[in-house]
Amino acid sequence: MTLREEIERRRTFAIISHPDAGKTTLTEKLLLFGGAIHVAGAVKSNKIKRGATSDFMEIERQRGISVATSVMGFEYEGVKINILDTPGHEDFAEDTYRTLTAVDSVIIVIDGAKGVETQTRKLMNVCRMRNTPVIVFINKLDRPCKDPFDLLDEVEKELQIRVRPLAFPISSGQTFKGVYNLYEHNINLFTSDQRQTADASTVEIDDIASTQLDELVGGKFAAQLRNDVELVEGVYEPFDREEYLKGHLAPIFFGSAINNFGVRELLECFIRIAPSPRPSTTQTRTVMPDEPKLTGFIFKIHANMDPNHRDRIAFLKICSGVFERNRNYLHVGSGKMLKFSAPTAFMAEKKSVIDTAYPGDIVGLHDSGNFKIGDTFTEGEKLKFTGIPSFSPELFRYIENADPMKFKQLAKGIDQLMDEGVAQLFVSSLNGRKIIGTVGALQFEVIEYRLEHEYGAKCRWEPISIHKACWIESDNAAQLADFKMRKHANMATDKHGRDVFLADTSYSLALAQEKFPDIRFHFTSEF
Ligand code: G4P
């Protein structure tokens, strides 16, 4: 197969949802269809159950599971599908944001009874920043759900994207009859079957005006469907794939993942419309996937579960060319040529050494602590991929050394955990103290635990009152200098030495923005 053909048959995507909407269940059903797993229950939910926030065994277990399910690759009808897993717990949202930088499209799962929830909204903001194409799967139709039109309106309004249903449900809950495919003009009749190979019974309907429909779903629901379809065709424009690919229009499906219902339709449509690997932007140029030379970047680093072996797995997303085992590549960050004798690929739960990988694929590289999130690999060109930002953290604490004999271990531990992207480090300009910023409270516990168990260091947390960290810059040097002098007590530097303003309240931030109009305040590290 040519490089072009390999690229065209790849679909690299993530399934995202608010916890409990059914992401794990849907992932599992997709893997079952792909033949990548054979029994239900093989994909373990990687969410940390509520109330288990102090249970470190749970965190460790989670890390074990998430490395196993980080990337799930499988073949379906000649298409190579790579599903990138994202952590379920919202405290690990930043991990999810970064994973979204490595995908070409996403499927959003929404609970039909709950509608759009907070986490979905936040994740959609990241997709919107990158114009990632999204398909929406409205799940749990076997339960009483909100009215489908209300759900469509909610998605459109809350996720700020135009929608186009490709299928439409016939009732929900106890009276759920099935889903009408608006393009193929057939009805998928609902059968509650949790078995993996359940092939729902599909009936072709040439004309929904015919009495055949009444016989299938009953007069009342047939009449309702006719009204609904008329309304859909009247209100929504026909599906336009170009608009979907630009991230402007989301096709909508309805189903019930646990019952394996509507999943095949979703998958069939997905492989037809979802994009193959897209061009990637760097600081200097756009990289096309079919360029012959290899380029790729690291979007995730996973520490070893075994504290005696502090090696890590770095996840490399291939952006162009062909990756080959035992070939020398330039690690742009260090300027060193490196080769990998055992790069791994992930097929469902299995990890195996590979010889080659193509754009869209994810390769696991062994790392003894030298790689950082965002690192680029090439065949010699000095490129830096953009679009892998750090997000402004929301929780802050001073980190102090609690064991004076272990100063070095602590410094190294903090350094490596920050490279892994567990949290962000800022150094106060006022007193030189180290401040850790995170998106969730759980990270502080994870850091403390891992520093002790993996680096033999002890830390202590001290409170600091910060509302938000933002990166600042300005073309007006005088105003910037004036700002930094006045706000000296609230200034810090990030790990690249850039200026960060630590606003103590939303009010002081708003005031600063008003008083210093020439200063730009950024809430992601990339601007
Ligand atoms: P998540 O990864 O998005 O957090 O969700 P997950 O798939 O773990 O699903 C959350 C819960 O919703 C699970 O139940 C799952 O069985 C259920 N679920 C998923 N799809 C459907 C569906 O189509 N219909 C119905 N009725 N339920 C669905 P749980 O009780 O929390 O977990 P479990 O003990 O069953 O695994």
Contact 157, 242 (CB under 8 A): no
Query: Comparing 161-170, 190-199, 291-300, 367-376, which segment has the lowest mean pLDDT?
Result: 190-199
Measured in Å, residue 258 CA sits from the centre of ligand 1 at 7
Query: In the prediction, which pLDDT does 51 show?
Result: 44
Of 110 and 204, the structure prediction assigns the larger pLDDT to: 110
The number of distinct structural domains making up the chain is: 3
Query: Does residue 148 sit in the same domain as residue 30?
Result: yes
Confidence of residue 109 (pLDDT cuts 50, 70, 90): very high
Query: In the prediction, which pLDDT does 46 show?
Result: 53
Of 40 and 472, the structure prediction assigns the larger pLDDT to: 472
Which residue from 20, 30, 66, 116 has its CB within 8 A of the most atoms of ligand 1, so it is best to mutate? 20
Which residue from 23, 25, 138 has its CB within 8 A of the most atoms of ligand 1, so it is best to mutate? 25
25 CA closest ligand 1 atom index: 7
27 CA closest ligand 1 atom index: 7
Residue 385 lies in a domain: no
Measured in Å, residue 426 CA sits from the centre of ligand 1 at 39
Which residues have a Cβ under 8 Å from the Cβ of 416 and sit 6 or more positions away? Answer: 369, 455
Name the amino acid, one letter, at 151: L
Confidence of residue 97 (pLDDT cuts 50, 70, 90): confident
Which residues have a Cβ under 8 Å from the Cβ of 476 and sit 6 or more positions away? Answer: 518, 519
Q: Which CATH number do you get for residue 401?
A: 3.30.70.3280
The residue range of the domain holding 500 is 395-522
What does DSSP say about strands 344-347 and 424-428: parallel, antiparallel, or unpaired? unpaired
Residue 346 lies in a domain: yes
For residue 30, the number of C-alpha atoms closer than 13 Å in the C-beta half-sphere is 28
What does DSSP say about strands 162-165 and 134-139: parallel, antiparallel, or unpaired? unpaired
139 CA closest ligand 1 atom index: 23
Which residues have a Cβ under 8 Å from the Cβ of 166 and sit 6 or more positions away? Answer: 181, 182, 183, 239, 251, 252, 253, 269
Query: Does residue 242 sit in the same domain as residue 286?
Result: no
Residue 384 lies in a domain: no
Query: In the prediction, which pLDDT does 48 show?
Result: 47
Query: Does residue 372 sit in the same domain as residue 242?
Result: no
Q: How far is CA 491 from CA 314, 394, 433, 435, 466, in A?
A: 32, 16, 12, 11, 11
CA distance 228 to 226: 5
Confidence of residue 518 (pLDDT cuts 50, 70, 90): very high
Q: Which residue's alpha carbon is at the smallest distance from atom 32 of ligand 1? A: 20
Q: How does the average pLDDT of the chain come out, rounded?
A: 88
DSSP state of 389: P
Ranges 71-85, 88-102, 129-143, 255-269, most confident: 129-143
Measured in Å, residue 166 CA sits from the centre of ligand 1 at 24
Write out the DSSP string of 3-60.
Answer: HHHHHHTEEEEEEEESTTSSHHHHHHHHHHHTTS--STT-S---PPPTT-TT-HHHHH
Measured in Å, residue 421 CA sits from the centre of ligand 1 at 29
Contact 42, 28 (CB under 8 A): yes
Q: Which residue's alpha carbon is at the smallest distance from atom 29 of ligand 1? A: 20
What are the DSSP E strand ranges found in 408-524? 424-428, 434-438, 459-463, 468-474, 491-493, 499-503, 519-522
Find the mean pLDDT for residues 122-136: 92
Query: Does residue 310 sit in the same domain as residue 431?
Result: no
Query: Does residue 326 sit in the same domain as residue 417?
Result: no
From 378, 408, 440, give the residue that closes a domain.
378
From 210, 245, 276, give the residue that closes a domain.
276
Q: Which residue's alpha carbon is at the smallest distance from atom 6 of ligand 1? A: 22
28 CA closest ligand 1 atom index: 7
Query: Does residue 303 sit in the same domain as residue 436?
Result: no
Residue 45 lies in a domain: yes
Of 194 and 72, the structure prediction assigns the larger pLDDT to: 72
pLDDT in tens, 303-314: 765 556 667 889
Query: Does residue 313 sit in the same domain as residue 439?
Result: no
Find the mean pLDDT for residues 198-205: 67
Query: In the prediction, which pLDDT does 54 show?
Result: 46
Query: Does residue 441 sit in the same domain as residue 302?
Result: no
pLDDT in tens, 249-287: 999 999 999 988 889 889 999 999 999 999 999 999 999
Residue 10 lies in a domain: yes
Q: Which CATH number do you get for residue 22?
A: 3.40.50.300
Find the mean pLDDT for residues 485-495: 94
Query: Does residue 514 sit in the same domain as residue 419?
Result: yes
CA distance 357 to 321: 9
Rg (CA), the chain: 25
Which helix (H) or strand (E) segment is 203 a member of?
Answer: strand 201-204
**Angle of helix 442-455 versus helix 407-419 axis, rounded to 10:** 130
Measured in Å, residue 348 CA sits from the centre of ligand 1 at 20
255 CA closest ligand 1 atom index: 23
Q: Is the pTM of this model over 0.85?
A: yes
Q: Length of the chain, please?
A: 527
What residues are in contact with ligand 1 under a 6 Å CB criterion? 17, 19-25, 45, 47, 88, 139-140, 142-143, 256-259
Measured in Å, residue 65 CA sits from the centre of ligand 1 at 18
Query: Does residue 253 sit in the same domain as residue 301?
Result: no
CA terminus-to-terminus distance, the chain: 39
Written as six digits, the tokens of 368 are: 């003894």
Three-class SS of 167-195? EEEECCHHHCCEEEECCCCEEEECCCCCC
Q: Which residue's alpha carbon is at the smallest distance from atom 36 of ligand 1? A: 45
Query: Does residue 111 sit in the same domain as residue 241?
Result: yes
Name the amino acid, one letter, at 479: Q
CA distance 217 to 304: 54
Query: In the prediction, which pLDDT does 57 show?
Result: 58
In this structure, what is the dihedral angle of CA atoms 369, 372, 378, 383, given to the nearest 10 degrees?
-150
Query: In the prediction, which pLDDT does 44 show?
Result: 57
From 276, 306, 337, give the residue that closes a domain.
276
Task: Enumerate the β-bridge partners of residue 356.
Answer: 324
Name the amino acid, one letter, at 72: M
pLDDT in tens, 133-184: 999 999 999 999 999 999 999 999 999 999 999 999 999 998 898 899 888 8
Written as six digits, the tokens of 502 are: 């630590």
Query: Does residue 153 sit in the same domain as residue 90?
Result: yes
